[in-house]
Structure 1
């Protein structure tokens, strides 16, 4: 993109026209284009560029409000942090995210909307799982949790047992016992830190959001 000085330099070209009227006409056109160009750049830099209905700043704020409602309604799986998992962060910003049944979804926002997100604050955000803007529909899965497959279970994961109607933390995700190799088993942690052996069953174990869905 040309700088303002380079645009102005281009104006000198029209000074070589033999036809004075044509020179004036072209100079006015170029001057107007330069003016419009830099007005547009100023709007882009300040977030005031509009589609005729909303500016970028308005849409940015609307997105923050809407995402805060989702996160605040699901505090148990939402988080915010002023540092990425590796300790980095963009100047004057923070990250806020939510763990959906299909994976993470997160945004970066300016610190002036920090208090809008009434969710647990983490020293470091979870490591990015590779989600992209095109994964926005992960948010839909929050209120439509699907049962886990055995291979989905991970140590430290909290799971809803739709048979016993309770949540537990997985301590050991694969347990093998001689003579029972045909069973898929894992162990969960009890409140006293003891372990209980569980047998995996299809359509029984869900993301913890399932507890909220059942209460609605």
Structure 2
């Protein structure tokens, strides 16, 4: 059986490379290429590929948004994420959105072929690094979520606000800002504001 593919990546050289890899391998057919999430959704709807090779970080509509839209539209295409990033803020949203697999771009060619074949069969595919991250996440003790106010304070801090400036913006006292930050530190398992901001971005609690 020939597996039809749609390649989605905003870098032309990456698309050219992937097209060359699959065109030269028996059992695969590249139906088209897309440079953005929006283009991916439109082409997947028109071409009906078996598998969409989806990058995540693209200008405009990103990969997670595209996966969400494909899932919502009832597309029969399976999505295999192929990306450079394996952080929690990338992996978990992509899988929750409906991706069948998640592979890193440094995967060997034969591993990529196996992953695409497995994805076409509807089997979950995870690179070892990604699988390890998910296992750690699942085994970690339940984390107490940050309150809306704690996130507001942390968001202002991430944009360079001092405690005094954050207090003025939120119409609260500077002491209250410090209290919110201390609570956020405890929940995130850190000791200072720089680490709190870094962990919050890593977990997808803050957006750049």
TM-score normalised by L of structure 1: 0.24
Question: Which entry has the higher C-alpha Rg, 1 or 2?
Answer: 1
Bigger strand share: 1
Bigger helix share: 2
